[in-house]
Amino acid sequence: MRKILLLFLLFASFGAFAQDKYDIIVDRNGRGHFRTIQQAIDSVRAFDPSGLKTIYIRSGVYKEKLVLHSYLTNVKLVGEDMEKTIITYDDHANINKMGTFKTYSFLIQGNDITVENLTIENSSLQLGQAVALHVEGDRVIFRKCRFLGHQDTIYAGKQGQRQYFEDCYIEGTTDFIFGPSTCWFERCEIFCKKNSYITAANTPEDIEFGYIFNNCTVKLADEVTEMYLGRPWRAYAMTLFMNTYLPKGISPKGWDNWRNAENEKTARYMEYNNSGEGANTSERVKWAKILTKKEAEKYTVSNALKGCDNWNPTAIK
């Protein structure tokens, strides 16, 4: 009886702590302000002048097709447990001819959004393109999140916008990180589930930075024997892998031109200081660039993501 009372008091004290620390609590079992994440998001005031609003999401599986609209800014979503707090949906491109861009499980359009300790999943079978995260907002941060899917897991979907991924897990089959945004991936684990392509950037010609993977680890499923680092969805795709572990099974060529030799003249594909058997560049395609130490110096978070407002996501906690 005493143990039960102590557990009750512990739970009650945590509930009070959570109530004080977070503005909104989501609990699918009814122990919060809302039972669904969308209800919590919709409760936030448009362009709220009072500042940051934090949404705490207790562990559970939330089958929701979420939208965080462009008029919601300065919002932070925090899951109780990265592996047990799961946002999931199962749309794919071939449902009623939906197409890729409506298949998202979570669409983020607002600026200055932070997401932590969550799993975002598209649980569709491999029946077509199926996006887990579709992000269009600027200055969006993901920390300690998991992104699960097959083809097209993450769509970084708006040119000129900046997103920062730190200590995240990203898995997929084909082109599972794609789009025109500028993205920095720091200490992320990239898991490849079949022979295909990791990235499909379509960086605009006039934007210097596309996708940068730094201090990451690429892992392959047992049956994967030929994985390409990327192919250009559009001509000026920019992708850099640096200080990253590349295992055996990465294609010796490294990069693919997407059946168009003209892309070899414009695509900006680079590598620097990678490790592992897959980092051997002796057989890389001639149109990929192996950076020197001096050339690599400009590829920093502050340079790639600063924009005109000197945004530095590493300073935001």
Query: Which residues are tagged catalytic?
Result: 152, 175
Report whether 155 contacts 130 (CB < 8 A).
no
Q: Buried b vs exposed e over 261-284: b needs ≥16 C-beta within 10 Å?
A: eebbeebbbbbbebeeebbeeeeb
CB neighbours of residue 39 within 10 Å: 13
Report the candidate in 229, 294, 242 with the shortest Cα–Cα distance to residue 273. Answer: 242
Cα–Cα distance for residue pair 242/230, rounded to 1 Å: 14
Cα–Cα distance for residue pair 196/226, rounded to 1 Å: 7
Cα–Cα distance for residue pair 14/135, rounded to 1 Å: 32
Residue type, 119: T
- DSSP reduced 3-state for 117: coil
Cα–Cα distance for residue pair 134/108, rounded to 1 Å: 6
DSSP assignment letter at 313: G
